[in-house]
Amino acid sequence: MPNEHLSRHAKRCLAAGPAIFGALAAHAAGQLPPADPAPLQQIEIKGAYDARRDDTATRIVITQEEIGRYGDATIGELLKRVPGVTISGVPGHGGEIRMRGLGNGYTQILLDGQPVPPGFSLDSLAPATIARIEVMRAASAETSAQAIAGTINIVLKKVSATAKREIKAGLQQENDAPGANADFQLSDRAGALAWSLAGATAYNRNAWPFDFITEGSDPAGAATLLRRTEVRSTGRFESANLAPRVSWTAGPDDVIALQGFLNVNRLRGDDLVRIATLLGEAPRYSGAAIRIESDFQLARGTLSWTRTLQQGASLDTKAGVSAADRDSRTTSSEYDAASRLSLTRAIATGAADKGVTLNGTYAAPVAEAHALKAGWDGEYRRRAESRSQRERAVLPGVARDLDESFDADVARLALFAQDDWTIGPRWSLYAGLRWEALRTRSSAAAYAAHSRSSVWSPSLQSLWKVPGSQADQLRLALARTYKAPETGRLVASRVVAENNSATTPDFSGNPALRPELAWGLDLAYEHNLAGGGLLSASVNLRRIDDVIVQRVGLVDGAWLSTPVNAGVATTRGVELEAKLPLRSIDKSAPDLELRANLARNWSSLSSVPGPDNRLDQQTAFSGTVGADYKFDKLPMTVGGSYSFQNGGPVRISVNQYAYSVPKRSLDLYGLWKFNPKNQLRISLANALHQDNLAQSSYVDATGRLSDTTITPTAVAVRALMEMKF
């Protein structure tokens, strides 16, 4: 809706409008005594509403302009420049989105306010279909409390206030592999009916070589094993997104809207694997030719009804359905050290998710300076997963045929209430309480498991504007959050590794896992500058109970990794941010905006001895510096951004260690506006194309085994033509 970002103060003024105009009409009719002469009051207009500055709850909003500035191909590429957000994995290869440096589900990812379904890749969601991205560092009662590190809400484009016809088409080249993408947005109105349609499609080829180095040593440190594995991976990825929306203003008090979202991904790839054993015993398979095919489809639909009630109250209800389906097929030919065919394997996996959601929110100004909101949030999701493995081997007794399947259903119900209280012109307080219950049932051929949990999650946030200043303010947030185990980690079926070892073990879930519970504290100081500038410093603290970690050990002669609840973790961090438009200081300065942010994180896990016992391989330090310059005499804008994430050693468990090198990334762009409706954007992503290195190790009384992965990266050159009609 056009006024969805109005502050609570503006909403109260709108609600009071009928009473004000009624009093004026009565005065004009002579029903009220004339008012005493009084001097006119001066009204100060402070400018547009800014969620970052004006909301009591901490919220960073990334606008459409910021989303499209660098011509990013994926959401991860643009989020790495957001304060406190990092991306795991190899640049250009996708990765997990993390806040506070924490992954593994500690960061909650929402799509239009609802959790994304399992298996959905955010990299397949085109940035062009996104209206805005909201980054919430502290939990609120209105959204799910499964947000120990924070929440990132991706809001898809909706109906525009004016008719739109936009088309963008682009090309890219990365590591000698071409790519293309196109997206569009159409919207219009006809009386009480408004509609919009946003869509995007992308095609990319890839060529990703990488190497593994496997090293082993005895307790005295003498080398016992040295292998080099070369992997040459090629393939193509195709994706398409479609987001239609229709809204109907049924009357002065009712708006009905239907929002849809379709996503289709196709991946086809080939891997050639060669293993050279330079020292020690060769593995069973020293080479492989692997063919991978993967298909994913997602469909979501949401029907919403918003009704405006008397005295400024409103009722917003939503019902949604979703269905996701993933099918993967892998065929491989395995060779021994003499390059003789030893085994052929075919694996077919499938997963189907179906779900329904129903939620509602009642909002009302219950008293002067109070804005109450209460509601419910319910979800039921059913998942069916299967895996079939067929092998044919030259030697007898080697091949294994496996058939595994499981069904799981997850039911979630939450009730919440919150109050946004404007105590005075300089102090506002937000208080919320959420009760959330989760029930999971899973079953397979050999077992059935049930899990039930419920959590009370109070939250408190405060905004205090420093007296005597129009620019300085303090924020405080306290909240209880939790993280429920993923469904796949509750299933006790076993996933077999190709060459089983302490660093590449089999995997099995644990039906006895309990949710992780956390208390969090956030404190921030903000100094707002003219023209949208900002200086900010914040600190955060989390205590997490029943932390889930992966434990590796020998079971029946094979290495097995299993998730377990193991102790207490504490995390703490400091974040600094600066945004400075030079013309806000000096009107004669160049039209240059400078940006910088730094984040320093610490954590420790009680069940793992130090040093370096950081939780979930937490990113200890990250930062970004950037600048945008707009020419005065040319229709041109240029900019750049440099991002850094440190690496270093991490102790994961008593026997497990990890190491990664720091990541450095430089992105550049140039924008040329031919006219108000046509512009060309040229960008370079990952201009430094730094090689990535990551290592995992297992150490016990028998010695040390480590795997080191070395992955080259490449520069991505992109050209994007943007047209409006």
pLDDT at 43: 38
pLDDT (tens digit per residue) in 558-615: 899 999 998 899 999 999 999 999 988 888 899 999 999 999 999 999 999 988 999 8
DSSP letter, residue 71 = -
Q: Once rounded to an integer, what is the mean pLDDT over residues 663-671? A: 95
pLDDT (tens digit per residue) in 280-299: 988 888 999 999 999 999 99
Rounded to whole angstroms, the Cα distance separating 54 from 533 reads 14
pLDDT at 9: 42
pLDDT at 158: 76
Higher pLDDT, 699 or 53: 699
Lowest mean pLDDT among 251-260, 437-446, 457-466: 437-446
pLDDT (tens digit per residue) in 75-131: 888 888 988 899 888 877 778 889 998 877 899 999 888 888 776 777 778 787 888
Given pLDDT bands bounded at 50, 70 and 90, which one contains residue 6? Answer: very low
Residue 261 class from Cβ within 10 Å (0-12 exposed, 13-18 middle, 19+ buried)? Answer: buried
Q: Once rounded to an integer, what is the mean pLDDT over residues 166-177? A: 90
Lowest mean pLDDT among 56-60, 387-391, 503-507, 522-526: 56-60
Given pLDDT bands bounded at 50, 70 and 90, which one contains residue 487? Answer: confident
**SS3 (DSSP) at 21:** helix
pLDDT at 360: 95
pLDDT > 70? residue 30: no
Given pLDDT bands bounded at 50, 70 and 90, which one contains residue 18? Answer: very low
Q: Once rounded to an integer, what is the mean pLDDT over residues 485-492? A: 80
Higher pLDDT, 439 or 40: 439
DSSP run (H or E) holding 236: strand 223-251
Q: Which amino acid is at 37?
A: P
Strand 287-308 versus strand 314-335 pairing type: antiparallel
pLDDT > 60? residue 19: no
The CB-side HSE value for 392 (13 A sphere, CA atoms) comes to 6
Lowest mean pLDDT among 19-28, 169-178, 304-313: 19-28
pLDDT > 90? residue 680: yes
pTM of the model: 0.84
Residues in contact with 209: Cβ distance below 8 Å, sequence separation at least 6, in sequence order = 230, 231, 232, 233, 711, 712
Rg (CA), the chain: 28
Q: Which domains does the chain have, with CATH numbers?
A: 1-33 (no CATH), 46-186+406-724 (2.40.170.20)
pLDDT at 123: 75
Contact 522, 435 (CB under 8 A): no
- Of how many residues is the chain composed? 725
Given pLDDT bands bounded at 50, 70 and 90, which one contains residue 160? Answer: low
Angle at 266 between CA 260 and CA 267, to 5 degrees: 145
pLDDT at 13: 40
pLDDT > 90? residue 440: no
Task: Give the percent of the chain with pLDDT over 70.
Answer: 92
Rounded to whole angstroms, the Cα distance separating 548 from 375 reads 31
Long-range contacts of 661-668 (CB under 8 A, 24+ apart): 661/692, 661/693, 661/694, 663/91, 663/690, 663/692, 664/688, 664/690, 665/80, 665/91, 665/690, 666/640, 666/641, 666/642, 667/70, 667/77, 667/640, 667/641, 667/643, 668/638, 668/639, 668/640
Report CA torsion sign: 20, 25, 31, 36. Answer: positive
